[in-house]
Amino acid sequence: MTDRPIPPRRPMTLRDVSEASGVSEMTVSRVLRNRGDVSQTTRERVLEAAKDLGYVPNKIAGALASSRVNLVAVIIPSLSNMVFPDVLGGITEVLDETHLQPVVGVTNYRPEREEKVIYEMLSWRPSGIIIAGIEHNDACRKMLTAADVPVVEIMDVDGDPVDSVVGISQRRAGRTMAEAILKQGFEQIGFLGTQMPLDHRARKRFEGFTETLARRGMEVADQEFYAGGSALKKGREMTETILGRNPDLDFLWYSNDMIGAGGLLWCLEQGIDIPGRLGLAGFNGTELLDGLPRKLATMDAGRRETGREAAKIIAGRADGTLTEPKRVEIEPTVAFGDTLRRYKP
């Protein structure tokens, strides 16, 4: 795990919006609070300037701009994905020892929904924000950059963070998994994934994976994608589809453990020799795998540790023991299980 400093940010103020829009701070305040007699032209100019700057008004009635509530906004893309409860568990474990309490917002992997959640969370001036991912649209990034609260982006360090960042290198994870698969002698590799256009972390893993194959003069032999939440049933269906289309595949890598578990169950029902005839691996290292008849290979992305480290940063910034942003990279590890290892180490 590496830990490197990140340059500090400057919060946006009412004066910044005033200067950008060319009207008084009082007029800006009226527009943002939707009070007073302000022309439509002026209102639009102020709102456009505020959005361009990423400024979010304070909804704490009568409070000073520096006021805070003891809530930590935790913004995640899904509650149905088994990954995020583990992250929340790590966050809660640390915050339980402080005066801070997490409150959760869900984006459903939609940028416009993320924009709305960030806006609402920031308007109540939480003591900090923990948000999944490092990729955001312009409006979201501006709000996070302008926020005068600590922000910790989690689960991905491949990019330019707004403030602090904690997680694994997704591209490195993809490279590591590809190397493990190739070392075991698999050559005809298929990839099965979900939410690829919207799940930037899965996309980066896939990029790292394919880059490693390319260096060996290889490429992914087949792919199967779908839009929707991770599910055992979908994993079964995708596995049947890709093997029906390309029976020569000798390895399947799934973008998450849930669809990987579904694929494993289907393969066992078909009597396929795992991993002699076909190797399999998922991603995330969820506890679900402990209940399967065969242990699916996976990669532990350090979800709970990620939650703990992110919460420690927020708590440290809140009590003044930490004054600068941090970058914490967690090392992902391959768990070979029963479905990846052809050769003894």
Question: Helix/strand/coil (H, E, C) string of 279-338?
Answer: EEECCECCHHHHHCCCCCEEEECCHHHHHHHHHHHHHHHHHCCCCCCEEEECCCEEECCC
Rounded to whole angstroms, the Cα distance separating 345 from 333 reads 15
- Kindly report, residue by residue over 118-138, the tens digit of the pLDDT: 999 998 889 999 999 999 999
Which structural domains are found in the chain, ordered by start? 2-12+24-32+40-168+304-331 (3.40.50.2300), 170-300 (3.40.50.2300)
Q: For residue 113, how many other CB atoms are within 10 A of its CB? A: 15
Q: Would the pLDDT of 1 be above 80?
A: no
Task: Tell me how far apart the alpha carbons of residues 296 and 262 are, in angstroms, rounded to a whole number.
Answer: 10
pTM: 0.79
Stronger pLDDT, 198 or 225, i.e. the higher one: 225
Neighbours of 237 (CB within 10 A): 17
Residue 165 predicted with pLDDT over 90:
yes
Residue 24 has pLDDT above 80, yes or no: yes
How far is C-alpha 296 from the geometric centre of its chain's CA atoms? 23
The whole-angstrom separation of Cα 134 and Cα 139 is 14
Q: What is the pLDDT of residue 197?
A: 65
Segment 129-158 mean pLDDT: 94
**What is the rounded distance in angstroms from the CA atom of residue 110 to the CA atom of residue 305?**
26
Q: How much is the pLDDT for 62? A: 47
| Number of neighbouring beta carbons within 10 Å of residue 305 | 20
